[in-house]
Amino acid sequence: MQRIIKSTNLITDIEKTVSGIKHDKLFVLTDEHTANLCFPILEPFAAIKNASRIVIPANDTNKTLENLAHIWKHLTQNGATRHSLLINLGGGMITDIGGFAAATFKRGITYVNIPTTLLGAVDAAVGGKTGINFEGFKNEIGAFYPAECVLISSRFFHTLGREDILSGFSEMLKHALISAEAEWERLLAFDAGNIDYEWLTDAVFRSVSIKEGIVEKDPFESHIRKALNLGHTVGHAFESFALETARPVLHGYAVAWGLIAELYLSHRMCGFPKEELQKTVRFIHRNYGAFALDCDDYEHLYDIMKHDKKNASASSVNFTLLSGIGKIQINQVAGKDLIFQSLDFYRDSVGL
């Protein structure tokens, strides 16, 4: 199980982490944004300052085979071996593609994640899922390959804008929904316009703890880890469709909108309470707005959902749903008509 470190002194903690992992060469992967904004924070540690640096373009649209090959090429040309160490410094895109590069280079090298976004801290950096987008599909190619360590510092949260905070917060809301009513109620009180960073940091580590507990029970997603897919079947369809139509959206926003549709399915198929559904939908609409689509888009969204990795067959769509907060119902197959009704509900809920 990967170590999760709650960093109180970033330089001291990364120095201990790196010195505690036997390696011959050190590499640091960033995107263009984190190269400028985050890498300088780590430079006082000499080993980081002198590491071989790999920089790729920012944003999830660049989580591609071409950029994966660029990482492999840099490692090869700069003498990386099976005993080298890769540090992924960035958001979910960097930890996803960097983790997959580590999983596949020389059949696997050690890596450390230092997430710089809220989304990365509570989701992508933790749990060992790695991958890239392919042929227009989100995370189509990937592997389970956990980081040796995930070092989470709230120092980075202060650099984030409202949208990036909310993108990560939707995954925290999902963790609360699959966990406990008390945590769900706490998160619904979040004020994105007046952020209490101490409260947020505490909430982040509660959220990470929820995910850790699930991943530890089911590291390869054969059973209960499927709970973490709540909101993601429809959410990934929205995200892929947004990329296709040149309207890219943040992952967490797509998940939030996906939660609206999938909680509706939960209500219809599993008896999820109407009051909890309405409260969650109001919070999402108030904070995340809407992704525009109409009924002519449903067929294509359905086709995207049929490509989802969670499906048991190419002709069915598999969901994780809830019968109540913390009451998880995995492997729920919804028919096409009901999925279309959930998209109707989404559009009605956000005023489209």
**pLDDT tens digits, one per residue of 280-327:** 999 999 999 999 999 999 999 999 999 877 776 666 899 999 999 999
Backbone angles phi, psi at 7, to 5 degrees: -80, 130
Beta-bridge partner residues of 143: 130
pLDDT at 329 (0 to 100): 97
Tokens of 123: 């989701």
Instruction: Find the range with the poorest average confidence among 1-15, 91-105, 161-175.
Output: 1-15
Could you give the CA distance from residue 342 to residue 350 in angstroms, rounded to a whole number?
12
Evaluate whether 132 touches 97 at the Cβ level (below 8 Å).
yes
Would you say residue 1 has pLDDT above 70? no
**Stretch(es) of the chain classified as CATH 1.20.1090.10:** 162-196+211-349
Chain segment 7-19, per-residue pLDDT in tens: 888 899 999 999 9
Would you say residue 247 has pLDDT above 70? yes
**Stretch(es) of the chain classified as CATH 3.40.50.1970:** 3-159
> Could you tell me the CATH superfamily of domain 162-196+211-349?
Dehydroquinate synthase-like - alpha domain (1.20.1090.10)
Single pTM value for the model: 0.89
Q: What is the mean pLDDT of residues 264-271?
A: 98
Q: Is the dihedral of CA 89, 40, 164, 215 positive or negative?
A: positive
3-class DSSP state for residue 201? helix
Q: What is the mean pLDDT of residues 132-144?
A: 90
Rounded to the nearest 10 degrees, the angle between the axes of helix 336-349 and helix 298-306 is 120
Please provide the size of the chain in residues: 352
pLDDT at 127 (0 to 100): 87
Evaluate whether 322 touches 273 at the Cβ level (below 8 Å).
no
Query: Which residues of the chain form beta strands (DSSP E)?
Result: 3-7, 26-31, 52-56, 85-90, 110-115, 129-134, 137-144, 149-153, 317-324, 327-334
pLDDT at 105 (0 to 100): 98
Q: What is the mean pLDDT of residues 174-191?
A: 97
Kindly report the average pLDDT of the chain as a whole number: 94
Q: What is the mean pLDDT of residues 330-340?
A: 95
pLDDT range class, residue 347, cuts 50, 70, 90? very high
Could you give the CA distance from residue 221 to residue 265 in angstroms, rounded to a whole number?
22
pLDDT range class, residue 137, cuts 50, 70, 90? confident
Tokens of 54: 């790999």
Tokens of 109: 């090298």
Choice between 72 and 312, residue whose per-residue pLDDT is larger: 72
CATH architecture for residues 3-159: 3-Layer(aba) Sandwich (3.40)
Report strand pairing: 137-144 vs 129-134: antiparallel
pLDDT at 19 (0 to 100): 93
pLDDT range class, residue 209, cuts 50, 70, 90? very high
